[in-house]
Structure 1
Amino acid sequence: MPLPSPPPPPDTNSASPRVYSAPALEKAIDIIELLAREPNGLTVSEIAARLSRSISELFRVIVVLDRRGWLHKDPGSDRYRVTYKLLETAHRATPAQELTHVAAPLMQTLAATAMQSCHLVVVNGTSGLIILRQESPGPTGFAVRLGTSIALATNCSGHVLLAFMTDDARSTILDQTMDPAARDALDASFAEIRERGYESIRSARMGGVSDISCPIFGFDGHVVAALTIPFLEVIDETPHISAEEALVALKRAATQISQALGWYAPSETFA
């Protein structure tokens, strides 16, 4: 009995890449991406309707994602939500794990000193992602949700990340996210940010909040994150420090985190 012929070798001369299909995996990714945009969660029937699929197509996939810890089902409402496992996995697979390990205690000290919340933002594709936050220990405060995605071109943290990254990296991001005609003023502001070493602007979202942000550098001198205080103005007699004093504490914390990651200022020398 003749043996079956082996499959033909891949066509390495083809201009278009081979497209492989993994239906169950694609369904799982579709579900996670959908629920990532739904903080209140969705039921199985709502997920199926949003994805234009039948419940029977998705049920097994949802059950497996739940069993593996990627989704959590609220027993009261039967709604599924994404868990922090995705963020935790990303931390283990990227330099974010070391960054958050180093930054966490220093951010706690910063929040206690400034009596303000603070958060850490990294570049994620063409956006920014909040990977760590520390709430104010005081009676009031303003904090941004962990895992929030931000637009780099319109956000204080994003301005710092864009200002201190390489020209090529910045151009790649802005080419995809901004109209060329709107970039001239922004490009000029990046030079000013680099010169003073930080950015401080009124929040584009909340009244009474001024964002202050400083860069964090890795051992290779490249910017790896932005450390930001959404400074909440105090108008009563509650003990507080000024925005200028908070900036001093923020700069100190950003420098300490950078140094813990192996960075040192170009002016420093070692004996």
Structure 2
Amino acid sequence: MRKESKVFVQSVNRIFDIIELLSKEKNGLRLTDLSKILELKSTTIHNLLGTVIHRGYITQDTETMRYRLGYRCLLLAEKFTENDLLLSAASDHLTALNKQTDELVFLGIIQKRDLICALKIESNRPLAVNPDQQWKNQFHSTASGKILLAGLPPREAEAIMEKHGIIRFTARTITRRDLLFEELQKVRQNLYAEARDESVEGISSLAVPIPGPAKPVLAALAVALPSIRFTDERKEELLHLLHDTAEKISMQLCAAGKNISSGNSVNP
């Protein structure tokens, strides 16, 4: 019985490996690609895919034979957004902010001491930021990461730095712990954070905190753009829009929190 349970868990883990891998590939992957990347036999992957394809979580293009995420993944994402208090409150406001700025806007949160992009809307401009950048270990080199670190107790911020280290990504990355904590003190005083070419050369970001009903910093609201567009004038314009949007999200969260405490549903 224990042996069967172990095999079952391994199969589930492998299915999630496939789903997460396909989520990063806009053009999908062939069976041979999956086999090579995951270092599994094609027959093993084919057997795993059977059930998830039947359930609609993965689909296969009959012409290219490439596998992609299916419509059921989209439905799950929509339900998650509806049921998550923060994402539900932020979704429409991020859409409005994206239209106002025409830049990549996103919501940063901490999950298991990783920096996670919980929600993002891409820019339509020809010169834009790559929306697929992974930030989980870049607390010290992104504006959203600095906002979130600044809102933590010092011991928890230290624990995050201990987990990820302070890696140099560019010549402008802060790699000294004392300088980083000086930067975080400025963030607390100014109520915003910025990062110019610190994570990726040519990319800058600006972020402000979103206070929650019970936390001074529940999430970071951020915008990322090519550094060539990040002038002082543009910075002031974006800061105004970010603070205004963060305040609207925070007010909606507080109102929803009151509805929860009184026993009412937060969903319309």
What TM-score, normalized by structure 1, do the two folds share?
0.73
Shift, 1:109, TM fit = 2.8
Further displaced range: 140-149 or 188-197: 140-149
CA deviation after TM superposition for structure 1 residue 253, in Å: 0.8
Structure with bigger helix share is 2
Work out whether residues 116 and 141 of structure 1, in 8 Å CA contact, stay in contact via their aligned partners in 2: no
Asked whether 1:221 is paired with 2:215, we answer: yes
Q: Structure 2 unaligned runs (5+)?
A: 168-174, 256-268
Q: Give the drift of 1:36.
A: 4.3
- Structure 1 residues 155, 69: closer, same or farther in 2, change over 3 A? farther
Number of residue equivalences:
241
Structure 1 unaligned residues grouped into runs of 5+: 1-6, 8-19, 236-240, 264-271
Q: Distance in 2 between matches of 1:85 and 1:147?
A: 24
In structure 2, C-alpha distance between the alignment counterparts of 1:94 and 1:106, rounded to whole Å: 13
User: Where in structure 2 are the equivalents of 1:1-271 lying within 5 Å?
Assistant: 21=6, 22=8, 23-82=10-69, 89=76, 92=79, 97-136=84-123, 142-145=128-131, 148-150=134-136, 151-178=138-165, 182-203=176-197, 204-207=199-202, 209-232=203-226, 233=228, 242-262=234-254
> Secondary structure of the residue that 1:77 maps to in structure 2?
coil
DSSP 3-state at the match of 1:242: helix
User: Which residue type is aligned with residue 111 of structure 2?
Assistant: N
Query: How well do the aligned residues superpose, as a CA RMSD in angstroms?
Result: 3.5
Secondary structure of 2:117's counterpart equals strand
What is the DSSP-based 3-state SS (H/G/I as helix, E as strand, rest coil) of the residue aligned with 1:122? strand
CA contact (8 A) 2:104 2:131 kept: no
1:187 to partner: Cα distance: 1.7
State the distance in 1 between where 2:160 and 2:82 align: 20
CA distance in structure 2 between the partners assigned to 1:231 and 1:47 by the alignment: 33
| Structure with bigger gyration radius | 1
Match of 1:266 in 2: none
